[in-house]
Chains A and B, each alone.
Chain A
């Protein structure tokens, strides 16, 4: 299967990446090669293998519902590029 530069552009938009025309062409080629590996996997007979979502054998890793200390407000705020009082400030986004 070959990816088109248009498909690459759509994925790039969803990921908020800006790609030049040249990059779209280049990544279309590289990502097509990646998809090629999946085609190799497709050639295997998996009739007797049940689908899995995880490679690990672990299951039910759970924690008890106990409160543990958070970061301090100061620590959280120090991570933000801009503040307004006790809130993090960013350029306005439209609601919805």
Chain B
């Protein structure tokens, strides 16, 4: 039997406004080569100046991954030649990463797993190249050149492809929560590579590593690793030897293949970047960054379940959307019963948002208004059907729910004598349904409740309607 050891390397583009060493915009979608300057094009005589926010994002990412943050650090040049790297070197961090020795915890099939984080370092992105085989040309766009990246490297603690996927989901969730990266794999702001080896179960030495690149989706990560585990296991089981290789995931053929390597020995000749000065991260800066980290998703889910009595499923759903979770907390803080608020937010409000293609931040019905609506429902002032009906209007208009209900005369009827009139009319108007009821068709009662609700324009309190109808119909029978 063999076991698998996987380490992941993830690159995240940080969502700063400007690049890491110059003032060019980091926006997506600009015309090619329109967001570049002498610094990020590596023109002679230009000098990089470090973006403070990029450093703070790297510090926050390190803290959120329980890393030690380096009190003193620096940048290094990683030298290699590739046309999308204009300077002939990438400014990165070699022996003094901003964060090291951290860990991340997440659940896989109900079991908590802890994966060590070896390092978190800050570096610059390269330009983008497109290869045209037929024309024998490579085309370059330098808009991404110099966009800040963090590289997050785990220890080889991951044991299966499912764990690798869960790790990436947990990492993405945290990074989105602390708002340092939007983590979109498909758009390239999150890039994953895996180092994978197999060894006989129980052995303490790691096997020969293979590096898997070019994985463009979470599903791709899982499939590539499954393929590679199978390939290596079959190879070793049949007496073969795993070679140290860099392999690429071929998404269309669903297999990994050996990459053509340009340079055999990776001799990057790192040395301290002389164009940048030392970086000192003192306690006050560290504490400022720490204070800006919100409660992280895992802790928040646990608190919702433990303190607010939300089901684990609803907690998961709420926390998955940070803005929705904040809205929920606002509503709960105003005294609304958390379970009631969670139900309404996750079903009805979310449906309205989807229909209108709105983000929760854009909704005019804010926490106070939503809370007011919940009070109207839980006190019985309006029926839940009425609340659902007016929710769409409230979301767009932002008027006070209480005022709206009053203005439109939507308050629930709980006056027995008034409802009685509707009940009598319904019975008089629907002899066929009444006859059905009398021969024992219980479902006829539901139909009669519907008739009453229609007559009362949805305002009659359904429980009362039900009681009164049963009374009247059974009285006739006696």
Residues on A facing B (Cβ under 8 Å): 14, 16, 53-54, 56, 58-73, 76-77, 79, 84-96
Contacts and interface: CB of A to CB of B under 8 A. Distances in A.
Contacts of B141: 86-88
Given A53-B272, A65-B16, A70 B130 contact: no
26 contacts: A53-B272, A54-B278, A59-B278, A59-B279, A61-B276, A65-B18, A65-B52, A65-B53, A65-B54, A66-B18, A68-B23, A70-B35, A70-B36, A73-B32, A76-B41, A84-B139, A86-B32, A87-B32, A87-B33, A89-B138, A89-B139, A90-B138, A90-B139, A92-B131, A92-B132, A92-B137
Given A62-B52, A73-B33, A14 B137 contact: no
A74 to B, nearest CB: 9
Contacts of B279: 59-60
B74 A54 contact: yes
Contacts of B248: 96
Contact of A86 (B33, B54, B278): B33
A63 B51 contact: yes
* 3 smallest beta-carbon distances between A and B, as pairs: A68-B23, A65-B53, A53-B272
* Majority secondary structure, B binding face: loop
Contact of A14 (B24, B49, B79, B261): B79
| Residue in B34, B140, B263 whose Cβ sees the most chain A Cβ within 10 Å | B34
A59 B75 CA distance: 12
Contact of B17 (A54, A65, A92): A65
A90 B85 CA distance: 13
Contacts of A77: 33
Interface string B30-46: 01111111100101000
Given A54-B277, A59-B277, A96-B248, 18 more contacts: A58-B278, A60-B279, A61-B49, A63-B52, A65-B17, A65-B54, A67-B23, A70-B24, A71-B38, A72-B34, A84-B137, A86-B31, A87-B130, A89-B137, A89-B140, A90-B140, A96-B259, A96-B261
Contacts of B138: 89-93
B67 to A, nearest CB: 20
Q: How large is the interface on B (under 10, 10 to 19, 20 to 34, 35 or more residues)?
A: 35 or more
A58 to B, nearest CB: 4
Given A53-B74, A59-B280, A96-B260, A67 B25 contact: yes
Contacts of A14: 79, 263, 267, 269
A68 B36 CA distance: 10
Given A62-B50, A63-B49, A86-B33, A91 B277 contact: no
B414 interface: no
B142 A76 contact: yes
B109 interface: no
A57 to B, nearest CB: 9
A10 to B, nearest CB: 8
B272 A54 contact: yes
Contact of A73 (B34, B82, B263, B272): B34
B182 to A, nearest CB: 16
B81 interface: yes
Contacts of B74: 53-54
Nearest to A87: B139
A61 B50 CA distance: 7
B274 interface: yes
B37 A96 contact: no
Given A59-B277, A70-B35, A94-B260, A87 B140 contact: yes
Nearest to A93: B138
B326 interface: no
A42 to B, nearest CB: 18
Interface in B143-183: none
